[in-house]
Structures are given as C-alpha cells and as structure tokens.
Structure 1
Amino acid sequence: MLRHLALATLAPLAATAAAGGLGSLPPLPLLSGGDSLTVHIERTGHPEADGTFRLECGGTPGGNHPAAAKACKRLDQITQAGGKPFAPVPEGQLCTQQYGGPAIAHITGKWRGRSIDARFSRTDGCEIDRWENLRPVLPRV
C-alpha cells in the first residue's frame, strides 16, 4: 500500500521532469531514510572542535554536529555539482609539500546511499585542500 502511494505520488513528477517541466527545481531526495555520518576530529589545537559528532542530513539537519545545517548544505552543494566529497586524493597527484598541522578526521556512515569511510589530514597541499573543501563539515584549523 505504502509503495503504491509513493509511486502514485512520484509518477506525475517524474513525467513532468522527463518533459522538462520542472525547470531548475533541485532533484528529489533519495527515499533512503536520510544520510547519517559520524565525524571524528582530533588534534586541531582547538578543544571545542575535537570530538565525535553525529551529522544527520536528508530532511531536517540534525545530530550533535556544531554546524549541522551548514554542513549538510555544503555536502549537498558538492554532490549536486558532481563532486565526490569523500574521495581520496587521486594516486599520483602532485601536491605541494606544505604542512597544515596535525589535525586528522575520520568520517564514516552513509551518504546518498553509499557507505563512507574517509580519512582527512593536513599533511600536504592536496590534503589541506580536501579538508578546506569540506568546511564546515570539518572545522577551521
């Protein structure tokens, strides 16, 4: 019954979208129950930024992440632009040899129906760029 109701509700929207009638409306969220991430951060030099935070997206942002709404919005921006917010630095990528500090982060959970297990650091220019690109999911250091 619920499946029939969902299909009956979404079918007209799908037909309208296929005909190009939805203009610039954002894509419909996945019906996966939302995205849920655990963000573990350490050694930032800012005790309030270190810790383990829960980030719930896909609907009303929640969890105990200090910037949940902004973090979910940033992840959506990256994803909708075709980016992969949790992708590692490509193998063989040339990176500047600069050190951004000892901060590390580990993000696990689900994002857009995919399992996430990503690690972040600030050990070189590429890693610093990955970290900065994910702010405010990851804190300013």
Structure 2
Amino acid sequence: MRTHTLAAALVRSGALAAVLGTAAACGGTTVTAPEDGPDTPSAPTTELSIEITYADDPPAEGDTEPKSWTLTCGPAGGDHPDPEAACADLEEVGAEGFEEVPEDQACTFQMGGPEVAEVSGHVGETEVSTEFDKSGGCEIDRYEDMGAVLAP
C-alpha cells in the first residue's frame, strides 16, 4: 500500500502540461481553463477512481464481479451507486481515511473478506492513491471506516 504526496501530483501535472504543449505545437487542440465567473461551475473538491476486486478466494455467494466507479464530491456525482452517501462518509473521515496503518500498530489476525479496493484521485488538495483490503483487524477497520465510499 502506498500514499502519494503532493510532489508526485506535481510531477504528473508537469507531464500533462508537457503533453498538452506538444499537442498544441503539432497543431493539436489546445485546452484552456474557463474564466472563473459567477456562472462558472467550480471543480469538484473530491475526485476519486475506485476499483473493487476480489482476492484469490472470492465468496461463493453474492456479486463477485469487479466494480469500477468514479466519485466526485462538491457536488456529489460520478457513476458511484450512491454518491451522496459516499460523499457524506468521506466528509466524516477526510483525507486521513486514506492513511496507511502504521507498521507498529497492534492488529488482530483475522480475515474479513476477499475485497480489495484500489482508490486514487484527490480529496480536497490531498492526492491519494492507496489500497484497502480486509486482511487483519486494522485493515478491516480502515476499509469499513470508508463506509459507502467502498460499500454502497
């Protein structure tokens, strides 16, 4: 599991700017940001890509097909099954919900399920890229703390 920093986001932003600049120099379409005005909608404060898969031994019953959603908050949207509930739960945990469990944290040895969720994007100004699973008490708590974000 890993969490990316703002520095990584800036590197990616710089790479995107270079690609757009090259496209413009080659006669490609140039994309510009609209001028902010009273009628201009603001960018979402949160944008996440969520992909849920199942580890080696998926449950025998229920829907075990991989799921892939986008979630935006501020305003709530995307193709997430319940963006309003997910945004409310995300507001409660904030960007801290994406932090990894410290290595010295005492956790129970139990298996909570085969679900594995890859989440990337940003929550406010914080870039996030992490994995959630249910392989131990602390990881189960971390997964469940995300509420409707991962389990609509």
Shared fold, TM over 0.5:
yes
- C-alpha distance in 2 between matches for 1:39 and 1:49: 14
- C-alpha distance in 2 between matches for 1:65 and 1:33: 15
Segments of 5+ residues of structure 2 without an aligned counterpart are: 1-34
- C-alpha distance in 1 between matches for 2:64 and 2:114: 16
Does the CA contact (< 8 Å) of 2:44 and 2:73 recur in 1?
Answer: no
The aligned residue for residue 122 of structure 2 is: 110
Quote the offset at 1:47 in angstroms.
2.6
TM-score (norm 1): 0.69
The aligned residue for residue 24 of structure 2 is: none
Does the CA contact (< 8 Å) of 2:44 and 2:72 recur in 1?
Answer: no
RMSD: 2.3
The aligned residue for residue 72 of structure 1 is: 87
The aligned residue for residue 11 of structure 2 is: none
TM-score (norm 2): 0.64
The aligned residue for residue 47 of structure 1 is: 63
The aligned residue for residue 90 of structure 1 is: 102
Quote the offset at 1:100 in angstroms.
0.9
Does the CA contact (< 8 Å) of 2:112 and 2:135 recur in 1?
Answer: yes
- C-alpha distance in 2 between matches for 1:100 and 1:93: 18
Flag the 1:133–1:33 CA change in 2: closer, same or farther, 3 A: closer
Segments of 5+ residues of structure 1 without an aligned counterpart are: 7-30
- C-alpha distance in 1 between matches for 2:64 and 2:127: 27
Task: Give SS of 2:90's match.
Answer: helix
Which runs of 4 or more aligned residues in structure 1 lie more than 2 Å from their structure 2 counterparts after TM superposition? 31-34, 44-50
Q: Deviations over 1:50-74 (max 9, x none)?
A: 3110001112x10111111100011
Does the CA contact (< 8 Å) of 1:97 and 1:125 recur in 2?
Answer: yes
Does the CA contact (< 8 Å) of 1:100 and 1:128 recur in 2?
Answer: yes
